[in-house]
Amino acid sequence: MTSLLEELRGLSTVDCDTLDADVARAIGPFADCTSNQAIAYGELTKVGGDGKPVHRQLILESIEVAHWMFGKQSDASLEELAVELMMVGLSIRIIPETRGFLHVQTNPKLAYSTQKTIRNAERIISHFKHLAPDFDPKRICIKIPSTWEGIQACRELERRGIATLATTLFCIEQAALAAEAGCRYVAPYVNELRVHFEPGYMDANKGAAIILCGVLQEFFSRISKQTNSRTPEVVAASLTSIDEIMQLAGIRHITISPPLLAQLENTPAAGWTDATVGLATRFSDYVSDISLAELGSIVHDEARWRMAVTRSENGLSESKLVQALNIFADMQDRLEGLVREANVLVR
């Protein structure tokens, strides 16, 4: 019996949105593996039957390496280094279950600094080289929040041969800048990040966000045809139901959390008759030649771009971006707190 997950894999590339190697092993293999500070915190605070953290050894080893590295550089604190090493360490465990990119997100607290984000990204690459020297660094993709400064960091990293993904993306203006900067991927959020942390809360605008995913895919296709150049691939993210996922069928990549992957695997494709399957890809007419020209004119003008993002959806897009940065920054703080708590065991 064909599952809905198998059916979806015939329409879109399915990525796993997790750092749980057991899940990736059970339901994979996957193309890419995506992660962020919230996913890392959830994984690193898992407790086993003995009452101890499942990843206790990884945490302690990461802190030890961070101590060794701390005296050799001045760009990051001990806690920041240890968090980076822990996130990379978790990603490395999923290498056997992926054939594409491992996506690791930079520190969200650096989202308004281009240079600090670049240095953060380069440290992440160096951690992979240190911890997994046989792993191809060309399979590492750095996730960076879609602020003006963040996307300028993407531009420089892509110039240096490092793949990037513009994340926390809520409007076409962010996507246009990411395309102009040469990002490999963009990750539009279907739901604002808040839905994953406040039980019962729902994003009333998710329908428009689903359509945006299709619009962006068509937008990039048109740019590619006009310029004969590579444009970003769309990775639909921040999903809460298999209904949303199937509406996105046909989007190039969809990154999916373990609970939704399990639901898709356990749902027979034969019983799925929803007329909205593939809804996101039916809105190519929403992209006009005028909008292409207008967007092309703002990506070189920081002030105009910032105002366009501020005015997008009457301020809703910018509000969702700020909300996501706050949540991810809180998770970064929690991860650094985890390091401080465990550090006493290393000393």
Report, as residue numbers or ranges, the catalytic residues.
143
Q: What is the C-alpha to C-alpha distance for residues 188 and 186, in angstroms, rounded to an integer?
A: 6
Of the candidates 186, 183, 121, the residue with the CA atom closest to the CA atom of residue 158: 183
Residues 36 and 105 sit within 8 Å (Cβ to Cβ): yes
Q: Name the CA radius of gyration of the chain, rounded.
A: 20
Residues 178 and 154 sit within 8 Å (Cβ to Cβ): yes
Spell out the residues 6+ positions from residue 61 whose beta carbon is closer than 8 angstroms to its own: 89
Residues 159 and 183 sit within 8 Å (Cβ to Cβ): no
11 burial (CB, 10 Å; 0-12 / 13-18 / 19+) is: middle
Residue with token string 């027979």:
268
Q: Hey, what are 149's tokens?
A: 């400064």
Q: What is the C-alpha to C-alpha distance for residues 78 and 300, in angstroms, rounded to an integer?
A: 37
Residue with token string 């899940």:
23
Q: Hey, what are 71's tokens?
A: 């005296």
Task: Report how far apart, in Å, the C-alpha atoms of 272 and of each of 7, 267, 269 are.
Answer: 10, 8, 5
How distant is the alpha carbon of residue 178 from its chain centre?
14
Provide the β-strand partners of residue 30: 98
